[in-house]
Structure 1
Amino acid sequence: MAAAEASSLSPPPGRCAFFVERKKRFCKMVPAQGRRFCGEHGVHEEEKSRKRIPCPLDPKHTVYEDQLQKHLKKCNSREKPKPVYFAQDINAGPKDATESLEEEQVSISALSKEELEDLIRKLRRASTSISNVIKDQILCHQALQNALSDPKNGDAATKHLKQQASILGNMERLELLQPGNCFVEFGAGRGKLSHWVDTALHDAKNVHFLLVERAATRFKVDGKHSRNSFERLQVDIQHLCLNKVPVLAKEKLPVVGIGKHVCGAATDLALRCLVETYAKHYDNREEDPAPKRLKTDETNETSFCPDETCTNSVSENWSPVAGIVIALCCHHRCDWKHYVGQEFFTAAGLGATEFNYFRRMASWATCGLRETARRDTATDGKNEEQSNEAEEHEEDDNGADSNWDSLQGLFTAEERKQIGRRCKLLIDHGRIEYLQQRGYEAVLQRYTDLSVSLENVLLTAVPCQS
């Protein structure tokens, strides 16, 4: 049918003669002079002497076989030179971390009733010692007041603004919106969070922003900034060495790590990048000035963290990382080999096997609400903000492993939700202990309402002051 339709039509003058069946139209690319097809569809050219083959670097496009070597030197898919701050697997975690790929592939629905009940018992036993009361810290910031009251905002845009406003409000509460800092946004995407931090610090000087994103993201907002220093680092967090970023290597600035919905293992990579990798630069300093102490009253006593992990001296606990504010997301995408809370799991008698099940079961906390969010997105107008919101909460079917039929007789919907929340809390508590052991006062809080974001937990950490 399509072939007959194509044969009865002719391409527009000066356009490629290839008929795209999926779109029911001819290709709109312009072919070279004397050619009927563009370079992408040149394989269909009626030319017997030359053959087009898929590019070995990216089979999505083709190239003339006799020009392959010339093409490989300029192909956009060729390996680019590594930036100076690239260090292979520097934040990946211990190389001797054990992980059974075969166990990871076992579906929860394939477990017997006894095995699943034993897994739930382990979960409850490990989480009994955890304070599961997460306080509400739903705040706002004046920098976003005008944007929030804009009547042109759609529902999705308003949700994003509310989250960003609360994140900035929590940063202000922790006194992190200060000049002289370098704000590192992990999983920056378009860079909207850094944009609002920049807006909140409009009159401040000596403020730097590093936007870490492994993809060459389009529709950036970086061009709107003219006052402060913005730099994009196109690199995977796993390979990012902040010490070698030129602005940090030269000026040795205190760093504030931020992120809005840093998915799964990316959170662990970001924590290790900040707490371990960047701190090493200061461990070897010779004559750096002593860190400042925070005074709380007229007696000149320094502020004291009540946590017992903060009772060491300032010199031992002080870190060049001034603070961490990360909105957590997608626990089912966590990875044991990158997870920073391995010591916590091991101390609780758990390991990689239990972790891989718990990370999948974590999606039970939101899987029922996810369908509602999908329907709302489908019925509302399509725009970029909505598609981003959907991507943030879209659970990978293999990772979520939410087989309702096989589990229907074992747990109610509410029980599944509670189990999912326990799994999330357990994974996040391992991150909290990791930070506390390294001299940070780290806590979890709900930074937005569940109706605004299904992933509404914010991790914050600041160095303990003794």
Structure 2
Amino acid sequence: MGRAPANREPSPPPPPPGRCNFWLPNKRRHCANSPLPTSHYCGNHLPDSASDAGALSRRRVPCPVDPSHTVLEENLEAHVSKCPLKKQTAALAAQPFYSKGINSGGGEGGGGVTSAAKRAAVHKLTEDELHALIEKIKSVHATAAVAMRDSYLVADACDNWMRNQVDRKVPYQEKHVTQQASIIGNMEAFGLLQKGGVEEVAEENAAENALAVVEFGAGRGYLTQMLTDCYGIRNVFFVERRSYKLKVSLSVHMASG
């Protein structure tokens, strides 16, 4: 008897027009960047080989300063000297309040244990030691944990977003819409936002002395974008250390006039 075929991931759908053809399996969508004129891919996802018609065969390597992005190997030396993260890190280290590794838990000097060292320590445990560690974690959690109450609320003002009747030019999965709408619904339930439909709350929040929103750790700013779209809030301020692509700050600024 033959073996049953292994389960395979379904083939990705065709990319939207004008988008990079690179499929992001974790996000289950194609890259949102525009392709290069000579390729079906953007500069970040250009194939190593020249099998893509007209694509240049140039190898990309992780940046040693910030491995979250890659650069062409031939430009690596020049890039390291001007990497934006290197400048940001140097500027932060120059601040009088800065102390390297202060939050690492390693005491003075920032001699904290790295993630790799932690993983190595766990891998060295025997089976009995691992079970003992798990039981210890469960015991500590049971002592400190409190009951968490689920609260899924969607405000009436978010109706257009929930029905997908807004013009969104950035990739935005439905699970994010649901999550952000529930955050806003709970904010409204706690009295942080005015209750009502889109027209009522938008008119109230359009005044210059109206409600202001400061979003710390804003990321791409999707939560504040929903607030501006659904509640007409125009006084917004984003706080984010990282520089993300596909941010909504520009569209929010243009919408506010």
Higher strand share: 1
Normalising to structure 1: TM-score of the pair?
Answer: 0.30
Normalising to structure 2: TM-score of the pair?
Answer: 0.50
Larger CA Rg, structure 1 vs 2: 1
Higher RCO (C-alpha 8 Å, min separation 6): 1
